Each structure stands twice: as structure tokens, then as C-alpha cells.
Amino acid sequence: MNPPSNVAPESPLEPRPSAPAASARTRPFYWSVRRELWENRFLYLAPLVVAAVVLIGFAVNVIHSAGRAGTPLALHLPNDPTPIEQPYAIAAVLLILAGLLTGGFYCLDALYGERRDRSILFWRSLPVSDLTTVLSKASVALVVLPLITFAIVVATHLAMLLLHTAVLLASGTGLAALRIHTPLAELWVALLYGLAALALWHAPLCGWLLLVSAWARRAVFLWASVPPLAICITEKVAFNTSQFALFLGYRFWGGFARAFGTARPCCVPHPLATLTPGNLLSTPDLWIGLAVAAIFLAAAARMRRYRGPI
């Protein structure tokens, strides 16, 4: 006789756990993103340095303005009668530019750097595919870095507001001189939307830089910039036109006009009124750019598989 088993049979109606399998599929991507943040601290240090410079300049400006009785800090742009908070807009624009430059240099070094220092030999020994690695690097540039930029802009605006309030109270001017015509919350919502639109619009540029980073053996910046520059010069000499240069400019900054209906969303008193997400999502150029970005990223993943250390 066989002894009775103490193990109860599984019920066919009992749900089987699927969370561990899903977690196992996403865990390599998650840790790849975290690894990028650990190894590239300049992703948040560079915007923080720019924010510190902005705060120092703002402090000098507000102290000087408070010394003149009754002079508010709300300034006007040239040829624009609408009062806006120019220092806050300037801070946001500078930090966005810092984020874009940081993202560009990160993409150029993302795949080239691991071949240069031969760390690619170690990372290839881990159970992480080349496509997962490339997608994690693209996600850092297009998702994580814009979120870091947004958080730093919000913190900078709050520091500017507190600093301005403290200076006005200390000088005896009173808070009546603190005239904020556009609520900061409205500016932040427009900023987050604009960063998301820029990330989608710049996806093919990010893909191109990652592809060059995976292919080039040296002088990555030159290999990324010389071909477009050569096309522009050849077109100008051969046909006396600048269509490709205009196309590059449109790919860099045309997303603002599509996403906001204006190329200067910070120069209007109510930026939320200029949001046009339907116009952005219905633009064929956006989806063509995303398709081109997918091709570039797939090519970068394949290039990484066959490119050895430098």
C-alpha cells in the first residue's frame, strides 16, 4: 500500500500567480535604468548647477529691485504688453536647455562609453538583452531626464518665490509688490506637458545619437554632427537651397508650435489656454519621427551586439 499523501491537490479554480513572471520580465529593464542613474550622476548634477546659478542671479536681481521702493519684480518682454513673470520663465527655459544639452551628451556617450572603458564585457555577461539595454538608455534620455528637469524647475520656482517674499518682508516693501499674474501651478502643468511633447518630438534625434554612439570608434560628436552638416553644405552649394537645414530646425523646435499653437508659450499670460494636444497627436511628422526612432534604436541594439570594446 502506498502511504497517504499529505499534499493537497491543486484546485483547478485556484488562480496561479503570474506576478513573479511579469516582474522577472521587467526587472532587467528597471535595474538597467537604475544603473544608468548610478553611473551618470551628471544627469541631475548639471541641471542643479544651472538652477544654483539662476538662484544666485535672481537673488541679486530681487535685492536690487527691493532697494527701489515700490518696484515690483514682474517684468515685461520687449514688444509684449502682457505682464508675465519673466524671471520664472527664464529659469524654466534655461533649465530646459540644460536638460536638452545633458540628454544629448548622455546619448552620445551611452553606448560608446561602455565600449571605451570595456565595461561592455561585464554587462554582456548578465542576462540582459541588447535591446533592453538600448531601450533603458533611451528611456533615461526621453522619460527620466525630463522628469528630473521638471522637479528641479518646480523646486527652483519655489525657492525663487520664498526668496522674493523674504526680501520684500525684510525691506519693508510689503507683499503687494509681489505681483504674480500667472499662477505657478498653471505654469508647471504647461511645463510638464511641454517636456512630454518635446520628448516625443525629439525621439528620432535621441535614436540617431544612440546609433552613432553604438557605431563610432572615436570622435562620436563629429560622426553625429558632420553628416547632417555635410548634407546642408552640399545642398546649399548644389541647389542654393536650405531645405534640410530648415528640416533640422523644425525637428528641434517645431514641437513647440505643434504642442502649444505658438513657438513662445512662456510669453503668454495663460499658457494652459495654448495647449493643443490634439494638433500634436494628429501631426504625421510626430508618428513618422517615432517610427524613425524605433528603426534607429533597433539598429543601435543590433550594432551593440556585434561591436566589441575599443
C-alpha span between 207 and 213 (Å, rounded): 10
- Sequence length of the chain is 310
Q: Do 294 and 131 meet the contact criterion of CB atoms below 8 Å apart?
A: no
3-class state of residue 152 by DSSP: helix
104 alpha carbon, distance to own chain's centre = 10
pLDDT tens digits, one per residue of 94-132: 999 999 999 999 999 988 888 888 888 887 788 888 898
Looking at residue 203, its pLDDT comes to: 94
Looking at residue 86, its pLDDT comes to: 76
pLDDT tens digits, one per residue of 140-162: 999 999 999 999 999 999 998 88
Total-model pTM: 0.81
Burial 156-177 (b: 16+ CB within 10 A, else e): bbebbeeebeebbeebebeeeb
Looking at residue 261, its pLDDT comes to: 72
Q: What does the pLDDT average to over 175-201?
A: 78
Q: Do 29 and 131 meet the contact criterion of CB atoms below 8 Å apart?
A: no
Q: What is the residue-averaged pLDDT of the chain?
A: 81
Looking at residue 114, its pLDDT comes to: 86
Confidence of residue 68 (pLDDT cuts 50, 70, 90): low
- Amino acid found at 150: F
Q: Do 244 and 231 meet the contact criterion of CB atoms below 8 Å apart?
A: yes
Confidence of residue 277 (pLDDT cuts 50, 70, 90): confident
C-alpha span between 111 and 78 (Å, rounded): 44
